[in-house]
Amino acid sequence: MFFNTDAPTHKVAPEPTVEIQLVFKDWRGKDITIGSKVLYPSEYGNGLRMVEGEVTKIVTRQGYSWDGDNLVSKPVTKVTVKPERRSQGNNWRYQAATVTISVLSNLTVVE
Protein backbone atom coordinates (compact mmCIF):
# COMPACT_ATOMS: atom_id res chain seq x y z
CA MET A 1 0.00 0.00 0.00
CA PHE A 2 1.41 3.39 -1.00
CA PHE A 3 0.59 6.71 0.57
CA ASN A 4 1.01 9.99 -1.27
CA THR A 5 2.77 12.18 1.28
CA ASP A 6 2.89 15.11 -1.16
CA ALA A 7 -0.92 15.36 -1.37
CA PRO A 8 -2.31 18.53 0.18
CA THR A 9 -4.23 18.14 3.38
CA HIS A 10 -7.50 19.97 3.68
CA LYS A 11 -9.10 20.86 6.93
CA VAL A 12 -12.85 20.80 6.81
CA ALA A 13 -14.71 23.09 9.14
CA PRO A 14 -17.23 21.24 11.28
CA GLU A 15 -20.83 21.80 10.36
CA PRO A 16 -22.69 23.98 12.84
CA THR A 17 -24.85 22.12 15.32
CA VAL A 18 -28.35 23.39 15.80
CA GLU A 19 -30.15 22.35 18.94
CA ILE A 20 -33.91 22.43 18.76
CA GLN A 21 -36.10 21.98 21.79
CA LEU A 22 -39.17 20.05 20.71
CA VAL A 23 -41.94 19.22 23.14
CA PHE A 24 -43.90 16.04 22.57
CA LYS A 25 -47.15 15.42 24.38
CA ASP A 26 -49.30 12.36 24.99
CA TRP A 27 -53.01 12.29 24.19
CA ARG A 28 -53.80 13.91 27.56
CA GLY A 29 -51.38 16.81 27.02
CA LYS A 30 -48.59 15.60 29.36
CA ASP A 31 -44.99 16.07 28.18
CA ILE A 32 -43.12 13.00 26.90
CA THR A 33 -39.48 13.34 27.93
CA ILE A 34 -36.53 11.02 28.47
CA GLY A 35 -37.13 9.28 31.78
CA SER A 36 -40.94 9.54 31.57
CA LYS A 37 -42.92 6.50 32.74
CA VAL A 38 -45.40 5.58 30.01
CA LEU A 39 -48.09 2.99 29.26
CA TYR A 40 -48.55 1.63 25.74
CA PRO A 41 -50.45 -1.25 24.12
CA SER A 42 -48.52 -4.29 22.96
CA GLU A 43 -49.74 -7.04 20.68
CA TYR A 44 -48.68 -10.58 21.56
CA GLY A 45 -50.17 -13.59 19.80
CA ASN A 46 -53.86 -12.89 19.40
CA GLY A 47 -54.21 -10.54 22.35
CA LEU A 48 -53.34 -7.06 23.48
CA ARG A 49 -51.56 -6.23 26.68
CA MET A 50 -50.63 -2.98 28.37
CA VAL A 51 -46.95 -2.39 29.06
CA GLU A 52 -45.37 0.11 31.42
CA GLY A 53 -41.89 1.35 30.61
CA GLU A 54 -39.41 4.20 30.73
CA VAL A 55 -38.59 6.46 27.77
CA THR A 56 -34.88 6.11 26.97
CA LYS A 57 -34.55 7.96 23.66
CA ILE A 58 -36.51 10.34 21.42
CA VAL A 59 -35.41 10.79 17.80
CA THR A 60 -36.93 13.09 15.19
CA ARG A 61 -35.83 12.89 11.56
CA GLN A 62 -37.16 13.91 8.18
CA GLY A 63 -39.44 11.30 6.65
CA TYR A 64 -41.72 10.95 3.64
CA SER A 65 -45.32 9.91 3.09
CA TRP A 66 -47.86 9.98 0.31
CA ASP A 67 -50.46 12.75 0.21
CA GLY A 68 -52.70 11.67 -2.64
CA ASP A 69 -50.39 11.40 -5.64
CA ASN A 70 -47.62 13.53 -4.10
CA LEU A 71 -44.68 12.37 -2.01
CA VAL A 72 -44.34 14.91 0.81
CA SER A 73 -41.62 15.45 3.38
CA LYS A 74 -42.60 15.53 7.04
CA PRO A 75 -40.87 15.04 10.40
CA VAL A 76 -41.07 11.56 11.93
CA THR A 77 -40.62 11.04 15.66
CA LYS A 78 -39.78 7.70 17.26
CA VAL A 79 -39.68 7.05 20.99
CA THR A 80 -37.62 4.19 22.43
CA VAL A 81 -39.05 2.66 25.61
CA LYS A 82 -37.51 0.12 28.00
CA PRO A 83 -40.38 -2.18 29.11
CA GLU A 84 -40.64 -2.70 32.87
CA ARG A 85 -44.03 -4.33 33.61
CA ARG A 86 -46.76 -6.00 31.58
CA SER A 87 -50.46 -6.24 32.36
CA GLN A 88 -50.43 -10.06 32.36
CA GLY A 89 -47.13 -10.84 34.02
CA ASN A 90 -43.49 -10.57 33.04
CA ASN A 91 -42.83 -14.22 32.18
CA TRP A 92 -43.54 -14.11 28.45
CA ARG A 93 -41.10 -15.85 26.13
CA TYR A 94 -40.52 -12.73 24.04
CA GLN A 95 -39.31 -9.71 25.95
CA ALA A 96 -37.51 -7.06 23.95
CA ALA A 97 -34.87 -5.02 25.75
CA THR A 98 -36.29 -1.87 24.15
CA VAL A 99 -39.29 -1.05 21.98
CA THR A 100 -39.47 1.74 19.39
CA ILE A 101 -42.85 3.44 19.12
CA SER A 102 -43.66 5.69 16.17
CA VAL A 103 -47.31 6.46 16.97
CA LEU A 104 -47.06 8.92 19.86
CA SER A 105 -50.83 8.87 20.41
CA ASN A 106 -50.35 5.28 21.71
CA LEU A 107 -48.29 6.56 24.66
CA THR A 108 -49.79 7.64 27.98
CA VAL A 109 -47.51 9.35 30.53
CA VAL A 110 -48.23 7.98 34.01
CA GLU A 111 -45.78 9.95 36.16
Report pLDDT for 65: 78
Report pLDDT for 102: 86
Report pLDDT for 81: 93
- Structural domain tally of the chain? 1
Report pLDDT for 14: 61
Does 9 map to a domain?
no
Question: By the 8 A CB rule, do 72 and 65 touch?
Answer: yes
Its pTM stands at: 0.68
Report pLDDT for 43: 78
Does 63 map to a domain?
yes
Within 1-111, strands assigned E span: 24-25, 31-32, 37-44, 47-67, 70-86, 99-101, 108-109
Find the domain containing 101 and state its range. 24-109
Does 2 map to a domain?
no
What percentage of the chain carries pLDDT values higher than 90? 27
Low-confidence ranges of the chain (pLDDT < 50): none
Does 11 map to a domain?
no
Q: Which of 111, 102, 108, 110 is nearest to 26 (CA)?
A: 108
